[in-house]
């Protein structure tokens, strides 16, 4: 009577091993790799699409919508400095400089040469009335910004204004 019981157990074990071997073979086949690559490509497309939507929303001053799109971008691509920068600008648009500051700093940690992160950080420091911090961040922006960056003139103007607030310019006679 025990023989049929052992035969059943042996048959189940053989089937289980065959199933596991089949799964291992299936997972290592090019089709599985292809599926993973397809999934990665789909995520990259979504990141690009959501990021582009956020940029359009930022330009349209639809900051809440930009934040929604950027949250999704950061879920998929948390190490994308440009997404952190744009989140900072969206939060600045909603007059939340403290929250924006964190995103600009995160972008700088991810890419210390991210020029527009320093520009945004300078604006958050200005909003906090930390003109020394604003000066430092804006000078760093000017250091990293391309020569043809359209924000260079605004940056220089801001430097002059903040230095004046700090009393660094002699009063005009």
Residues 37-81: tens digit of each pLDDT: 888 899 999 999 999 999 999 999 999 999 999 999 999 999 999
Closest alpha carbon to 140 in 161, 120, 163, 168? 120
Q: Quick one: pLDDT at residue 2? A: 59
C-alpha distance from residue 43 to each of 37, 40, 49, 70 (Å): 10, 5, 10, 14
Q: Is the pLDDT assigned to residue 150 strictly greater than 80?
A: yes
Distance in angstroms (rounded) separating the CA atoms of residues 71 and 15: 46
Count the alpha carbons within 13 Å of 146 in the hemisphere toward its beta carbon: 3
Residues contacting residue 66 through CB under 8 Å, at least 6 positions apart: 53, 54, 55, 57, 58, 86, 90, 93
Identify the weakest region by mean pLDDT among 34-43, 111-120, 148-157.
Answer: 34-43
Q: Is the pLDDT of residue 114 over 80?
A: yes
Residue 119 CA to residue 144 CA, distance in Å, equals 10
The residue with greater pLDDT, 30 or 79, is 79
Q: How high does pLDDT run on average in the chain?
A: 90
> What pTM value is reported for the model?
0.77
Is pLDDT at 156 greater than 80 in this prediction?
yes
pLDDT at position 27, please? 64
Q: Which residues contact residue 65 at a Cβ distance below 8 angstroms, ignoring those fewer than 6 apart?
A: 53, 54, 57
Which residue reads 């009335």 in tokens?
Answer: 129
């Amino acid at each position: 009577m025990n023989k049929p019981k052992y035969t059943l157990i042996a048959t189940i074990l053989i089937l289980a091993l065959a199933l596991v071997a089949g799964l291992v073979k299936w997972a290592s086949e090019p089709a599985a790799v292809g599926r993973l690559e397809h999934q990665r490509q789909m995520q990259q497309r979504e990141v690009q699409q959501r990021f582009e939507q956020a940029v359009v929303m930022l330009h349209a001053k639809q900051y809440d919508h930009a934040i929604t799109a950027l949250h999704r971008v950061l879920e998929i691509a948390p190490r994308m400095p440009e997404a952190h920068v744009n989140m900072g600008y969206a939060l600045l648009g909603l007059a939340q400089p403290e929250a924006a500051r964190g995103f600009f700093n995160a972008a700088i940690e991810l890419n210390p040469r991210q020029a527009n992160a320093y520009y945004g950080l300078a604006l958050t420091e200005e909003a906090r009335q930390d003109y020394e911090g604003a000066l430092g961040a804006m000078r760093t922006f000017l250091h990293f910004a391309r020569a043809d960056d359209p924000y260079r003139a605004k940056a220089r103007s801001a430097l002059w204004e903040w230095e004046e607030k700090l009393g660094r310019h002699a009063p005009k006679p």
